[in-house]
Amino acid sequence: MQKIAIYGKGGIGKSTMTANLSAAFATLGKRVIQIGCDPKADSTINLLGGQPLQSVMGYMRSYDREPDRLEDIARTGFGGVLCIETGGPTPGLGCAGRGIIATFNLLDDLNLFETFRPDIVLYDVLGDVVCGGFAAPIREGYAEDVLIVTSGEKMSLYAANNIASAVENFADRGYAKVRGILFNRRNVPDEQKKVDAFAQAHGLPILADIPRSDAINRCEERGMTVIEADPDLPISQKFLRLAVSLAAEQEIG
């Protein structure tokens, strides 16, 4: 089982990257779980035909109890991807990171991995603050590898640097390691140079270079990934090649 946490600044496109990568893995015949670890609970919406999924924390608020079954908090999306959202507390009340911890504990109790037996688990994690529950995939053994989504924008690179530094601080404890960067272009000045400099400073490869794409926007308006809409599109092929590469590295490792 390959467990990957995808981190990035809010709004940088990490959910788009994660959902398309999940769809790409599924297209390759892999059993995939995608777990959205963001209070917005919208990570999986484009795997579910544009329909939002009730989050774990939302379920607990609605029913004042923990769910008894995976079916209460999970739904199968495109390609058989099992979709789960942690959600967060009522706005202004409580810590969003604690929702991730509570969800992970619950999923352990419900034997998620033993029941579904996935090949790939993708965690879509907000990376603006790498502390508390948001650091759980890195330090609690849930993820083995970290992918950092960034553009050449200043605040995106700032968040990416914080994420890389956080993972490096855990390096001697056998926790997750940064495998590389997903370069999600925003077409800002000197973008290639800035992202290359960040990658070189941390000794990281750029695993995928994703251009700005009208196809992604059109597909998301229809509630789907580009992989579902047309796997032969050039942008779809980029995600498929990334999935092939990541799966191959896991098999070699």
User: Could you give the residue numbers annotated as active site?
Assistant: 9, 14, 40, 128
Question: Beta strands 82-85 and 74-76: pairing type?
Answer: antiparallel
- State the amino acid at position 112 in one-letter form: L
Q: How far is CA 58 from the centre of its chain?
A: 20
- Reduced 3-state DSSP string for 10-56: CCCCHHHHHHHHHHHHHHCCCCEEEEEECCCCCCCHHHCCCCCCCCH
Angstrom distance (rounded) from CA 32 to CA 97: 24
Q: Is 8 helix (H, G, I), strand (E, B) or coil?
A: strand
Residue 75's CB is within 10 A of a number of other CB atoms, namely: 17
List strand residue ranges (DSSP E) for 117-236, in order: 120-126, 145-150, 177-184, 206-210
CA angle 209, 167, 150 (to 5 degrees): 25
Question: Beta strands 145-150 and 177-184: pairing type?
Answer: parallel
Burial class for 89, CB neighbours closer than 10 Å (0-12, 13-18, 19+): middle
Angstrom distance (rounded) from CA 143 to CA 5: 6
Rama region for 151: left / alpha / beta (φ>0; ψ in -120 to 50; rest): beta
